Structure 1
Amino acid sequence: MQLFNNMTLSGGPAYLKYLLFVFNLVFVITGIALLSIGAVVQGLYYQYYHFLDDKYLSAPALLIAIGAIILIVCFLGCCGAIKENHCMIISFSVVLAIIFIMELSGGIAGYVLRNDAADVLRRKLNETADHYVDKSDVTAMWDYLQTELQCCGVGNFTDWEHVFKNDSLPLSCCARLPGMTGIQNCTVESTTSHVYTVGCIQALGNFVRDHAAVIGGSGIGIAFIQVSYHK
């Protein structure tokens, strides 16, 4: 930023214009990276929206917004270089500083969410499990969760006893057995080889924490890459 404050493009050597184009290219790449990471994590989180607070969906949405803003700002920066407009360059530098702060905020939010995941998920899983029988959307979400992450119940498969009031289990709790086609019915009394023994609080918690770490690492990492390049 100081480079552009001390010298206008029109009064400085021609290489400054090309330097700004290269600088913009780096920011375009980081903008696309943030937008892509945010979109992928948002899509993955949305599959389990019943079990997540809105703040978990807003964190990747922030990365998407930052990525889109970076692309727009870089376009304006290129226009400023072409027109050799000193005012546009200064505005460009100020906006980049704001983007840096937003990236740090998104990164920090990712790590905060990562640490809060266990408590949030435990509450949401317990709330929704009670409605497994009477709400079709909750049923579908739990079946998807247990099938995809190969887990059963909140802490373990015995959690379903108070829901069904017997030894029944959702079909999605039943493990696929080698040499058998389809999924066989299972119950609380089944051997552990027939039932997923990992609780969904553990499986989904690991899933959320891993992707929250990606949000935190990408936000903070890219922010410092941009600063290092700028220096």
Structure 2
Amino acid sequence: MVTDLRLPLGSRCIKYLMFIFNLLFVITGIILISIGVTIRTVYDDYQHLLDDKFFSLPTFLIFLGSIIFFIAFFGCCGAVRENYCMILTFTGLLIVIFIMELSAGIAGYVLRKEVHQVIESKMNSTMQNYNSSKATKELWNALQEDLKCCGIHSGHDWIDAKVPEFPPSCCESEVIIKSNKNCTVETARKEGCLGKLSSSIKAHATELGGAGIGIAFVQAIGIWFAIYLARAIRLSYETV
């Protein structure tokens, strides 16, 4: 049932601003889902070189972005109907989302510090399986071709790992054709893959952290709107 409360002019402005904010709130949900899906897709390409915790964060942002649509319903309906209970529910849910997004943002920055060690450890372990595992061979070949690199730190890592077949993906195809020889450590790319991949993953972790913290502070404004409007509605009830 729609109420006919006479809110003060300032509170009515907050009411309409809150309705507009909820539209922006929905947009932030779409942004979170887009960022989460994009980075999750990037991480999938290197899933054998990353821990599960790197996948949990983008998945978590996708989840948050999805439930934002549900929460925005309470905000819009509560503002339009001037319903105290719905506004209060919206405020509570928004505070929970704020805390979760802030936590996700902090987790994104924490992950940046672990990227180098995790990837280096995974690279060392998978390099030994280059010739015995088709999936590992495809992973390394795709990695070295995409990032234009060779080995962990250099092509000498393949020699140290005593891999029978030096990966042809370590060399530019033009170099092999021109020399009419197989790819060797002498003709391989000089830059290792660890630095390039670590930089890429760190950049994505920073994006996740920035998105979580940035949108959380935007939603803090919505919490203030909701609390102010809920207080005005309660006072209007008390004066009726």
**Pairwise same-fold verdict (TM > 0.5):** yes
Report the Cα offset of residue 224 of structure 1. 1.4
- SS at the partner of 1:134? coil
Task: Please say which structure displays the higher CA radius of gyration.
Answer: 2
5+ long unaligned stretches in structure 2: 225-240
Report the Cα offset of residue 61 of structure 1. 1.0
The aligned counterpart of 2:212 is 219
* Counterpart check, 1:12 vs 2:21: no
The aligned counterpart of 1:205 is 198
The aligned counterpart of 1:153 is 151
Report the Cα offset of residue 83 of structure 1. 3.8
Question: For 2:169 and 2:4, how far apart are their aligned partners in 1?
Answer: 64
- Of the three residues 21, 24, 27, the one matched with 2:22 is 24
Question: For 2:27 and 2:88, how far apart are their aligned partners in 1?
Answer: 21
TM-score (norm 1): 0.85
Report the Cα offset of residue 157 of structure 1. 0.7
Q: Counterpart amino acid of 1:175?
A: E
The aligned counterpart of 1:86 is 84
Question: For 2:94 and 2:196, how far apart are their aligned partners in 1?
Answer: 38
The aligned counterpart of 2:121 is 123
Question: For 2:100 and 2:110, how far apart are their aligned partners in 1?
Answer: 15
TM-score (norm 2): 0.82
The aligned counterpart of 1:143 is 141
Report the Cα offset of residue 172 of structure 1. 1.2
* Higher RCO (CA 8 Å, separation ≥ 6 residues): 2
Report the Cα offset of residue 11 of structure 1. 4.4
Report the Cα offset of residue 36 of structure 1. 0.8
Q: Counterpart amino acid of 2:29?
A: G
**8 A Cα contact 1:155 1:198, kept in partner:** yes
Report the Cα offset of residue 10 of structure 1. 3.6
**8 A Cα contact 1:9 1:16, kept in partner:** no
Report the Cα offset of residue 17 of structure 1. 4.1
Report the Cα offset of residue 228 of structure 1. 4.1
**8 A Cα contact 1:174 1:185, kept in partner:** no
Q: 1:162 to 1:229 in 2, by over 3 A?
A: same
- Of the three residues 45, 56, 67, the one matched with 2:43 is 45
Question: For 1:81 and 1:228, how far apart are their aligned partners in 2?
Answer: 15
Question: For 1:83 and 1:185, how far apart are their aligned partners in 2?
Answer: 74
Q: Counterpart amino acid of 2:211?
A: S
Report the Cα offset of residue 15 of structure 1. 4.6
Q: 1:197 to 1:28 in 2, by over 3 A?
A: same
Question: Which piece of structure 1 moves more, 129-138 or 15-24?
Answer: 15-24
The aligned counterpart of 1:169 is 166
Question: For 1:197 and 1:224, how far apart are their aligned partners in 2?
Answer: 44
Q: Counterpart amino acid of 1:137?
A: A
Tell me the matched-pair count.
Answer: 218
**8 A Cα contact 2:91 2:223, kept in partner:** no
Question: For 1:164 and 1:206, how far apart are their aligned partners in 2?
Answer: 27
CA deviation string 1:177-206 (max 9, x = no partner):
38x69x973112x34xxx221111111101
Question: For 1:9 and 1:158, how far apart are their aligned partners in 2?
Answer: 78
5+ long unaligned stretches in structure 1: 1-7
Report the Cα offset of residue 164 of structure 1. 4.5
- SS at the partner of 1:177? helix
Question: For 1:125 and 1:137, how far apart are their aligned partners in 2?
Answer: 14
Query: Percent of aligned pairs with the same residue?
Result: 45
CA RMSD of aligned residues (A): 2.4
